[in-house]
Amino acid sequence: MMRNPKFQFVVGLAISAFFLYLTLRPVNFNDLWGALKTFEWLWSVPFLVLTFLSMWLRAVRWHYLMRPLGQFSSRRLFSPMMAGFALNSIYPGRVGEFARAYVLAAREKLPFTSVFATIVLERIFDSITLLLLLVWTFANLQLNPSDQVAYGKFVVTGQMLQDYAARFATMCAILLVVAVSFLFNKVREVFCAVVLRVPFLPKAWRERLAQMVHTFAGGFSSLLDVKAIIWTLLLSIGVWVLVGASMSVLAYGFPGMKMTLMQGIAVTVITCVAILIPAAPGYWGLMEVGIIFGMFTLKIDT
């Protein structure tokens, strides 16, 4: 029963419905209904177009990261990537990233760990891009540490955002160093030696894990290709600019609300920092409070 796709789908919907309820609990539904009635739905068309383009750029970017493992067109990579995003929308814990790697690895007869490593690398480039945009955002915003926004039980202050932005920068640096270190044979041999000496695992398991270290490292091989790095960075910037643009366009659907492209990017970046704040479960509610805080800081009329 647990492996039945229909059962899994129903469970996923139930989980999402529960956490959606928790997320919307602080919302005044009369205000929500009023906003929906006045929303100019024509603006949803460019929003969806920009969202699709940002997803397509992600597939193009994945194409460059996958090149050491084979020649895969962006169109071929698009469907497993979107399946992963769909699962992330239903289930907590970012399980869609694992499913995405599993689907592509099974379909193309590739090592799961190598494919998953390209997704890890993708997240590293996302982090670097967001960090660059974060520096730009904080440099152009008068972020007051005492500013505070509450959404239900979640409270975010300017000081919290600054603190987690610093931790985010540290995390980016560590992830990049780890990824680059895996490119060196000696580093991989050290990892393998440690794994092979784990006393409480059977020998077959240790050998399997050691092999996985090498296949995982293979997914980072695109870091040796300067052209791939340049294209991945440019595409990452394009992805997040389009995400910011989609938020800006959507804001115009609400009468009286104006949000420039730069403001849309800034709100997106602040939201990404907000969801780094520990919360259980997942980041339900934190995305909303991040958007509210960004709009409050930018003095966007709501």
Which tens digits make up the pLDDT trace of 10-29?
766 676 676 666 666 666 77
Confidence category of residue 109, pLDDT binned at 50, 70, 90: very high
pLDDT tens by residue, 217-265: 888 888 888 999 999 999 999 999 999 999 999 989 888 888 888 888 8
pLDDT band of 154, cuts 50, 70, 90: low
**Terminal alpha carbon distance of the chain:** 47
- Examine residue 51 and state whether it is found in any structural domain, yes or no: yes
In a domain, 161, yes or no: yes
Is this model's pTM higher than 0.85 or not?
no
Residue 27 lies inside a defined structural domain of this protein: no
Tell me the backbone φ, ψ of residue 53, rounded to 5 degrees: -60, -40
More confident: 187 or 59: 59
* Predicted pLDDT of residue 3: 58
Decide if pLDDT at 1 tops 60.
no
Q: Fill in the DSSP letter of residue 149.
A: E
Residue 41 has pLDDT above 50, yes or no: yes
DSSP code of 157?
Answer: E
Q: How many domains is the chain partitioned into structurally?
A: 1
Q: How confident is the model at residue 266 (pLDDT cuts 50, 70, 90)?
A: confident
pLDDT digits (tens, 9 = 90+) for 273-291: 776 665 544 455 566 667 7
pLDDT band at 7 (very low <50, low <70, confident <90, very high): low
Query: Which of 88-92, 123-127, 255-259 has the highest mean predicted lDDT (pLDDT)?
Result: 123-127
Mean pLDDT of 153-170: 79
In this structure, what are the phi and psi dihedrals at residue 3, rounded to the nearest 5 degrees?
-90, 0
At residue 172, what are phi and psi to the nearest 5 degrees? -60, -45
Domain that holds residue 167: 42-183+220-297
Q: C-alpha 230: how far from its chain's center?
A: 20
Q: Is the confidence at residue 36, as pLDDT, over 50?
A: yes
Query: Is 5 within a domain?
Result: no
Q: Which of 61-65, 85-89, 94-98 has the highest mean pLDDT?
A: 61-65
| pLDDT higher than threshold 80 for residue 6 | no
Residue 43 and residue 252 in contact, taking contact as beta carbons nearer than 8 Å: yes
102 located within any domain: yes
Here the tokens at position 25 are 């609990």
pLDDT of residue 60 exceeding 80? yes
The chain-wide mean pLDDT, for the chain, equals: 82
pLDDT value of position 228: 92
233 in a structural domain: yes
What's residue 46's pLDDT? 95
Buried b vs exposed e over 223-239: b needs ≥16 C-beta within 10 Å? beeeebeebbeebbbbb
Q: Report pLDDT for 113.
A: 92
| CA distances for 272 relative to 82, 142, 255, 277, angstroms | 20, 18, 26, 10
Residue 278 resides in a domain: yes
Average pLDDT over residues 32-60: 91
Which pLDDT does position 281 carry in this prediction?
46
Of 220, 135, 157, give the one whose Cα is nearest residue 184: 220
What percentage of the chain carries pLDDT values higher than 90? 29
Lowest mean pLDDT among 39-53, 90-104, 133-147, 214-228: 133-147
pLDDT at residue 56, as a whole number: 96
Evaluate whether residue 26 is within a structural domain.
no
